[in-house]
Structure 1
């Protein structure tokens, strides 16, 4: 190997054995279906011992969300100039929209720069999320970063989705415009500042390198302290809403 040959720091190559892997997936799927067929076709008759235990076991195999652990997701940022707040909230919104039990998912934004602009953007995103998350769940859209979704060339599947998509896109563009305008002006609107007491944290002297700890947590006021932590950089939005569920189901066998 010559010393002048270029060695990439990162590269993606197509994995070998794709046919074998797909065959394995099919075999596992068929096996699971056969187990379900066996459970349904061999339920003990009424009055026989073990009937309710058998039915309960079938229900547990069909519904396993109760076994999924709680997950804490930390999105990290540090500079509202290098890492624009609009980009940050797209990442936050994409992980908030994961296909995972909502009561077992907590999302935290860690801003080492202590920026009131990032906090303002997060407040705006929290209002938009009330429209975005139900939209994602209803139509199972992918990806679930608003910016990535609206920039995709794929057309909605039906008229209802198309109509709602237009409304959601309008709300997103209005939010995006507000955040970008305030970011350019490097200030927070007086109306927002007076409406949310969280901005009082910036009333005293505060800078990127010298600021007090400001802790704000998604909906709850308590730290969830989940056994599973997923750390996400603010410029890495999730492009697969099933990622957490798939990964944990795999590791939990």
Structure 2
């Protein structure tokens, strides 16, 4: 009888242990399932976005045809490229404006996620931000009034009054030829000062000047070849590697499937990455 009683007690104890183990295993499974893992982190956390589900990107909004306002809305080549990149990343695009002279400070201050505003890739800027692969190739071009026959080469710029957009690489270039450099908030404003003779020349992006001639009927002409080739990139904050990689992938996919060229042809009637 005693053996039987001990046997029954042992069996009850074993069953209790199995039951506890099962509960513990079940609870552990639930805890494991609910525990955040690297793979379960949201895309926004990986990308370090300012606003969940949204890619905000900045430009000056004064750089037609790359970024400008039409009927109160930002548009242009840069904006369409940014919109398409956001779409391919599964994010809502949010183009915003910021004064050009403080646009990098705005990025570093987390006012927006990226700069997609025709920014030249330079060592000085690359020390402050991380750049994507170039999304177009341009260059510095000299423009003069259509009636100007005294400036026919870069050598003729000596001691002339040259207009440039403020805080740009064009300003640095102009000072190599003259001390008479006048800064403008927009290249377009500078170009419009050429026909009345308020400026002798303007150094700006070739495509901006061509657009002023074609679309705004400003009486201008180009002088010589490009002063230098410019590689234009999109910028993100230092260390935001995941965002940089995904933007690069979206850009590469756009180029490969022809979407990039379609956008470029719309604005320039040519592929400006070539």
- TM-score interval for Structure 1 and Structure 2 normalised by the shorter chain: under 0.3
Q: What TM-score do you get using the length of structure 2 for normalisation? A: 0.25
Greater C-alpha Rg: 2
Structure showing the higher helix proportion among its residues:
1
